[in-house]
Structure 1
Amino acid sequence: MFASVATLGREEYLNQDYFPADYFDYLIIDEFHHAVNTQYRRIVNYFKPKFMLGLTATPERMDGKSIYEICDYNVPYEISLKEAINKGMLVPFHYYGVYDETDYSGLHLVKGRYDEKELTEIYKDNTKRYDMIYKYYMKYRSHRALGFCCSRLHAEEMAKEFCKRGIPSVAVYSNADGQFSEERDRAIERLIKQEIRVIFSVDMFNEGLDIASLDMVMLLRPTESPIVFLQQLGRGLRIYRGKEYLNVLDFIGNYEKAGKAPLLLLGGTSFSEKKACDYKDIEYPDDCLVDFDMRLIDLFKELDKKSLSIKERVRREYFRVKELLDGRVPSRMELFTYMDDDIYQYCMKHAKENPFRRYLEFLQDMQELSADEEALYTGIGREFLAVIETTDMQKVYKMPILYSLYNHGNIRMEVTEEEVLESWKRFFHTGTNWKDFAADISYEDYKRMTDKQHLAKAKSMPIRFLKSSGKGFFIDKDGYAIAIREDLRKCIENAAFKYHMKDILEYRTMEYYRRRYVVSDE
Structure 2
Amino acid sequence: MVDYFKPRFLLGLTATPERMDGRNIYEICDYNVPYEISLREAINKGVLVPFHYYGIYDETDYSGLHRVKDRYDEKELTETYIRNPGRYDLIYRYYRKYGSQRALGFCCSRVHAEEMAKEFCRRGVAAVAVYSNADGEYSEDRQEAVRRLKNQEIRVIFSVDMFNEGVDIASVDMVMFLRPTESPVVFLQQLGRGLRISKGKTFLNVLDFIGNYEKAGRAPLLLSGENSFFGKVAGEGGRIAYPDDCIVDFDMRLIDLFAEMNKKSLPVKQQIRNEFYRVKDLLGGKVPTRMELFSYMDDDIYQYCMKHARENPFRRYLEFLNDLDELSDDEREVFSGIGREFLALIETTDMQKVYKMPILYSFYNHGNIRMAVTDEEMLESWKEFFNHGTNWKDFSEGISYTDYKAMTDKQHLSKAKSMPVRFLKSSGKGFFIDKEGYALAVRPDLEPVIHKAAFKAQMKDILEYRTMEYYRRRYASE
Q: TM-score normalized by structure 2? A: 0.98
**What's the counterpart of residue 82 of structure 1?**
40
- Is the CA contact 2:106–2:178 (under 8 Å) kept in the aligned structure 1? yes
Does 1:290 find its partner at 2:248? Answer: yes
Q: Which moved more, 1:266-275 or 1:355-364?
A: 266-275
- Is the CA contact 2:148–2:154 (under 8 Å) kept in the aligned structure 1? yes
Give the Cα separation in 2 of the matches to 1:477 and 1:124: 74
Give the Cα separation in 1 of the matches to 2:404 and 2:70: 46
**From 130, 134, 145, the counterpart of 1:172:** 130
**From 73, 92, 107, the counterpart of 2:65:** 107
**What's the counterpart of residue 431 of structure 1?**
389
- The residue type paired with residue 193 of structure 1 is N
Give per-residue Cα distances to partners, 1:119-174, cap 9 Å, x unaligned: 11111232111111111111111111111111111111111110011001111111
**What's the counterpart of residue 370 of structure 1?**
328
Shift of 1:61: 4.2
Shift of 1:60: 3.4
| 1:58-77 alignment, distance < 5 Å | 58-77=16-35
- Is the CA contact 1:357–1:386 (under 8 Å) kept in the aligned structure 2? yes
Higher relative contact order (CA 8 A, sep 6+): 2
**What's the counterpart of residue 445 of structure 1?**
403
**What's the counterpart of residue 153 of structure 1?**
111
- Is the CA contact 1:230–1:267 (under 8 Å) kept in the aligned structure 2? no
Give per-residue Cα distances to partners, 1:213-237, cap 9 Å, x unaligned: 1111111111111111111111111
**What's the counterpart of residue 80 of structure 2?**
122
Helix, strand or coil for the counterpart of 1:490? helix
**What's the counterpart of residue 186 of structure 1?**
144
Give the Cα separation in 1 of the matches to 2:4 and 2:288: 27
Does 1:201 find its partner at 2:156? Answer: no
Q: TM-score normalized by structure 1? A: 0.89
| 1:364-513 alignment, distance < 5 Å | 364-513=322-471
- Is the CA contact 2:392–2:401 (under 8 Å) kept in the aligned structure 1? yes
Shift of 1:316: 1.5
Give per-residue Cα distances to partners, 1:9-34, cap 9 Å, x unaligned: xxxxxxxxxxxxxxxxxxxxxxxxxx
- The residue type paired with residue 72 of structure 1 is D
Give the Cα separation in 1 of the matches to 2:113 and 2:230: 34
Shift of 1:262: 2.6
- Is the CA contact 2:313–2:320 (under 8 Å) kept in the aligned structure 1? yes
- The residue type paired with residue 499 of structure 1 is A
- The residue type paired with residue 434 of structure 1 is W
Q: Which moved more, 1:390-399 or 1:275-284?
A: 275-284
- Is the CA contact 2:218–2:232 (under 8 Å) kept in the aligned structure 1? no
- Is the CA contact 2:218–2:235 (under 8 Å) kept in the aligned structure 1? no
- Is the CA contact 2:51–2:205 (under 8 Å) kept in the aligned structure 1? yes
Give per-residue Cα distances to partners, 1:460-484, cap 9 Å, x unaligned: 1111111121421111111111111
**What's the counterpart of residue 21 of structure 1?**
none
- The residue type paired with residue 479 of structure 1 is G
Give per-residue Cα distances to partners, 1:387-422, cap 9 Å, x unaligned: 111111111011011011011111111111111111
Give the Cα separation in 1 of the matches to 2:313 and 2:414: 35
Aligned in 2, Cα 1:58/1:261: closer, same or farther, shift over 3 Å?
Answer: same
Does 1:322 find its partner at 2:280? Answer: yes
**What's the counterpart of residue 265 of structure 2?**
307
- The residue type paired with residue 371 of structure 1 is D
Give the Cα separation in 1 of the matches to 2:475 and 2:124: 52
Give the Cα separation in 1 of the matches to 2:394 and 2:20: 28
**What's the counterpart of residue 344 of structure 1?**
302
Give the Cα separation in 1 of the matches to 2:163 and 2:255: 30
Give per-residue Cα distances to partners, 1:309-367, cap 9 Å, x unaligned: 22122122111211111211111111111222222112111111111111111111111
- The residue type paired with residue 204 of structure 1 is M
- The residue type paired with residue 320 of structure 2 is F
**What's the counterpart of residue 233 of structure 1?**
191
Give the Cα separation in 2 of the matches to 1:453 and 1:202: 59
Give the Cα separation in 2 of the matches to 1:446 and 1:100: 60
Give the Cα separation in 2 of the matches to 1:500 and 1:357: 13
Give the Cα separation in 1 of the matches to 2:88 and 2:264: 30
Give me the CA root mean square deviation. Answer: 1.3
Give the Cα separation in 2 of the matches to 1:464 and 1:437: 17
Aligned in 2, Cα 1:151/1:272: closer, same or farther, shift over 3 Å?
Answer: closer
**What's the counterpart of residue 33 of structure 1?**
none
**From 205, 215, 225, the counterpart of 1:247:** 205
- Is the CA contact 1:258–1:300 (under 8 Å) kept in the aligned structure 2? yes
Shift of 1:273: 5.1
Unaligned 5+ runs, structure 1: 1-41
Identity of counterpart residues, as a percentage?
77
- Is the CA contact 1:170–1:196 (under 8 Å) kept in the aligned structure 2? yes
Give the Cα separation in 2 of the matches to 1:121 and 1:272: 30
- The residue type paired with residue 133 of structure 2 is N
Shift of 1:70: 1.2
Helix, strand or coil for the counterpart of 2:53? strand
**What's the counterpart of residue 356 of structure 1?**
314
**What's the counterpart of residue 218 of structure 1?**
176
Give the Cα separation in 1 of the matches to 2:383 and 2:76: 55
Helix, strand or coil for the counterpart of 2:441? strand
Give per-residue Cα distances to partners, 1:421-478, cap 9 Å, x unaligned: 1111111011110000000000111111111111111111111111121421111111
**What's the counterpart of residue 228 of structure 2?**
270
Give per-residue Cα distances to partners, 1:31-86, cap 9 Å, x unaligned: xxxxxxxxxxx1x2222223222222232343111111111111111111111111
